[in-house]
């Protein structure tokens, strides 16, 4: 299921982003309360999409205006072999807008 999370889901969204810190460009202090608040605001402003599988967060997209700011899948879901093809480009999409560089499949 793909849905927009509610503010109460912000902790889950933050946890998925933080768990993917090796794959996406997060600031070193992303675990701080200021960034948790930033995620809550993004959820409140409907700038986030969450992908769920079996009632668990499988991935997150955070939008900035009309571009993808963060795009990641949960490391737990990836380790189960459920990584989607779009996640291969997330390193290049995050923070710079999707489609600037595509990896060969």
List the pLDDT tens digit at each of the 105 positions of the chain. Answer: 999 999 999 999 999 999 998 888 899 999 999 999 999 999 999 999 999 988 889 999 999 988 999 999 887 766 555 444 444 444 444 444 434 434 443
Burial of 66 (0-12, 13-18, 19+ CB in 10 A): exposed
Three-state DSSP class for 99? coil
Query: In the chain, what are the domain boundaries?
Result: 2-93
Domain 2-93 falls under CATH 3.40.50.80:
no
pTM: 0.73
């Amino acid at each position: 299921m793909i849905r927009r999370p509610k503010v109460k889901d912000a902790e889950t969204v933050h946890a998925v982003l933080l768990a993917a810190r090796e794959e996406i460009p997060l600031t070193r202090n992303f675990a701080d309360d200021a960034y948790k608040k930033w995620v809550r605001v993004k959820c409140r402003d409907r700038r986030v999409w969450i992908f769920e599988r079996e009632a668990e967060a499988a991935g997150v997209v955070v939008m900035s205006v009309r571009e993808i700011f963060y795009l990641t899948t949960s490391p737990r879901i990836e380790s189960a072999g459920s990584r989607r093809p779009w996640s291969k480009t997330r390193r290049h999409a995050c923070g710079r807008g999707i489609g600037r560089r595509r990896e060969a499949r």
